[in-house]
Homo-oligomer: A and B are copies of this chain.
Amino acid sequence: MEKVTEARCFGGRQIRFEHDSDSLNCRMQFSVFLPIRAEKTKVPALYFLSGLTCTDENFSSKSGAQRVANELGLALIIPDTSPRGDQVPDDAEQAYDFGKGAGFYLNATETPWAKHYQMYNYIVSELPALVEQQLPLTDKRAIAGHSMGGHGALVIGLRNSDRYTSISAFSPVTNPTSCPWGEKAFSNYLGNDREQWKPYDAVELINKNGQTLPIRVDQGLDDGFLEEQLKPERLKQAIAEANGDGSVHLHEGYDHSYYFIASFIEAQLRFHAKHLL
């Protein structure tokens, strides 16, 4: 991997890298924050998966997460949201909710998506192997995300409880097999057999397998996507029925934006630190 940019930030280092991804068959960029502690010793990492239309830069520049990450000695690994490049197929109408910028953190099985849209493998296996080999990181990991990335964090954490210590999400798509964003993406990427969708649905996963990793969710009550796309009450119910260690925090007046993420990222980082450190 090659360094593209680097800037000092809250005492640590904010770095953007570029590499050829084997899983995604394209050149990818991602961002990393290394706390000052990483200059002396290996540190654990929180992966943050971003939402529709984002790249690795949105969370990097707007969340302010580096302040508390540096204090706690946590690295942040911030991937892009889909494969990229001219050779990668995109939504026919370049809609914001499918194709580039909208990989949904799954392994596509349908033509023409399957060749590049393998974000599940990229996040679970390829990226951790790469950064843990080349950066001062332990193999302790936690995972978080926003919106589509909150869906990604929940699904990836629930299916790989041996690889992560804890899961958190802002405004996650909790039940994508029954909301418009998920139904559009899953029918295109995975085909029309709805049984194949279930391994990518947090509510279905908890209903089937229970829940072992601790989960924290933050959700704004003035979020315009709340009722149609996000459905936090379904996740809350699944966690309750599984008797799991999870909490859904509802916040009056907050919307779906990075102003919401910036306001509560400290709480999520301190939640993960309890499990990671």
Contact = CB atoms under 8 A, between A and B. Distances in A.
Contact of A263 (B11, B222, B253, B263): B11
Question: What is the count of identical protomers in the complex?
Answer: 2
Interface residues of A, number: 23
A127 interface: no
A62 interface: yes
Interface of A is mostly: mixed
Contacts of A61: 61-62, 258-259
Nearest to A62: B61
A136 interface: no
B62 A255 contact: no
A7 B64 contact: no
A10 interface: yes
A254 interface: yes
Nearest to A263: B10
Contact of A253 (B8, B220, B222): B8
A170 to B, nearest CB: 14
A7 B67 contact: no
Interface of A: 7-11, 14, 61-62, 64, 66-67, 220, 222, 251, 253-255, 257-260, 262-263
